[in-house]
Chain A
Amino acid sequence: MVEYNTAQEVEKDAAYKKELVELLYQLADDDFILAFRGSEWLGIAPHIEEDVAFSSISQDKMGHAVIYYEMLEELGEGKADDLAHLREPKERKNAIILEEVNGPGNYLEEPEYDWAFAVVRNYFYDISKAIRLSSLKNSSYKPLAQVAKKMILEQYYHLTHWNMWFTQLINATDEAKKRMRQAIDKVWKDFDGVLTLGPSAKEMARLGLIKEEQELKDKWMTEIKEVFEKLGVELPTNDGPGMERGDGRNGEHTEDLTTALQTLSEVYKVDPAAGW
């Protein structure tokens, strides 16, 4: 199987480059938008200790997005900052569930944010991210394999953090149970959007960029089943989560992404050519 050590080497293999770029956009956009949602929580988490911990996790996620965007820059896709701030919603590859607002209100005004949703979304996401990273460790694109190895170390702490919250809340008070149940059902409806690798998943696997989509999905399901069984909680369905609102990998998105992009690029767009 082919292996590439640098962005320059990839230049001569157009078919490979196309899939690599596609995968990197998915990875970058997922981490970027979820880190953005995390940053909106800053200052209003359930307690100060959590504010500090959650913020540290969001920074790691944003840091990972930066690494992926910089890899794309190296591959000639344009400036990392432009990729993060200027691309239109339809060009974005992130999963729809990751762009969803944290709850009613706005981060500046009356943020009625839902902590149960934050816990479930982040927990499910970080399980899937850990699985994905451990596959990327063996990617045929060696720069990606290298960074995956580093990210896995951080990922362990994130996973532990969300696992602790999930475990603590799911069997606590009646209200906590109810809210967690609602959050699980909500995330479940669209979480397949995270697990999918989009229309060219097969090609990505064939080129050794990442493992087969189905294999990664099965791993995720196995882990989730184990957690749910251990905690005595029922799965919403036995055949895996859905993709009710569409496939973000295909550029399908909701209004939530449009407003998020407006916010996060508000200052940058004043003058993208200026130094900030």
Chain B
Amino acid sequence: MKKTGAEILWECLVREGVEVVFGYPGGANMPIYDAMLSYPVHHVLVRHEQGGAHMADGYARASGKVGVSMGTSGPGATNLVTGIATAMMDSVPVVFITGQVAAHLIGGDAFQEVDVTGITLPITKHNYLVTRADEIAEVVREAFYIARSGRPGPVLIDICKNAQVEQTEFIYPEEVKLPGYQPVSHAPKDSLDEAVKLIEKAQRPIILCGHGVLMSKAEEALMQFAVKTQTPVASTLLGLGAFPASHELSLGMMGMHGEVHTNLAIQNSDLILAFGMRFDDRVTGTLKTYAPRAKKIHIEIDPSEVHKNVAVDVPLVGDLKTVLSDLIPLVDEYDHEEWKKEINAWKTEADSRSIMNWEDDGKLYVAHLIGDIWKATGGGAIVTTDVGQHQMWTAQYYQLDKPNRWLTSGGAGTMGFGLPAAIGAWFAAKDQEIWAIAGDGGFQMTAAELTTAVQEGANVKVAIMNNSFLGMVRQWQEFFFEKRYSAVNMLAPDFVKLADAHGVPARRVTKREEVDEAIEWARKTKGPVVLEFRVEMEDAVYPMVPAGAALDQMIQRPAKV
């Protein structure tokens, strides 16, 4: 049967299991929006395309499915760019669909024409320019396959307006034909054997658990491997939740704001088992002195990540879950008692400085608030963040025992991610409690999406950690620029009134004794809620490895006087 290109698009989206899309209409995608009315897909009208992109991203991270976000040509598409780059850096499967001017106008600077496939080439896993209706079915099928398979990532489809309205025979391609795209799953046996040899020799092994563990759904395999070999597990920012924080082998987060004992363990290890992580500069510190005595085994699906930052001894290129499942039967049981004791001694020493032991001094500290939210929610909420100090404190103190509840922009570090990601996550998990931990700066970047939350009835709780500063930049200025504060002092609107104007119930909290009650009130109140916490303005995130320093050169929290 003949259908228009726009109808074919929706036919294909429905067949991919798409239930919700986050988008914004305009001239170049009007036929798509017109056809949408006949299909069982819920459309969330966002307030800014960037918000829509982060919602699709949050939806994808929370559900494990492919998110979908749409925009019109020109400014609609360029507004998506930050969201696309955010998804790319964190390997999140999102399909972006943009309208484009008619094919015969391309290259002529037509109204709202922008070279979107050109702009997004380096920030997508793949992209398409569709000029004819009969290309759409195949392209959409491929796009979803590419987005979710291998190392996942965003795929953009730019569809010319003529292709949306032209009619063509709708043939759904049963298979995708991509001769140049065949992700690997198993690693070769001889490499596995080499890995086993290194594991046998190791006295001080450590697992570095990355986002790949979650992407590959390898949490159980990781647990089996760690327990069988009694290897402690450190996590990257994005790997949090893949291994239960409360497990005795868990070392928590590594890197720039990682735990002292965790970074020390990495630096003193004799074998690093890197699982689905990419040795980002935020987790290694300077490479010159990184884990100098450690042999390295790297299990990674993307061969271009192997040897990229850190040369490894045994690369195992493949799907993490598959490779781990192949590896587990080959390794022996160990206990590594000495090593664990050593790490524990470092931990005890570091814990004594913990801010969590501080008594109430009349001020609000973000670390305490995160601990309070963690307690109130039983550690089970989906938590999103913006980027900055509050993000690091949330990573440190919202101790996750379960996967896919921790949505934060790691690789790109995109401020304004928190609220829209939380709204997206709500569509993936409507029965779960969802908290967006926002910075006063980051919140203002995408605050307009509060109305989207209201329009959709999204049950998200926003906690704004208002330190009246671009806190993380201020901290760097304090530490590394002699406290010369430059452009970090930020006037914020009255967040309670702002929320009120959006029809969102809100409260301001300034004292520790009000905290528990406010959190409970937010949890009980249906729909979106805003809590503004007036927190200590000049607190700093500790420990901190200064950029470019060795991983064990951490600035630690000064003892309280």
A binds B: no
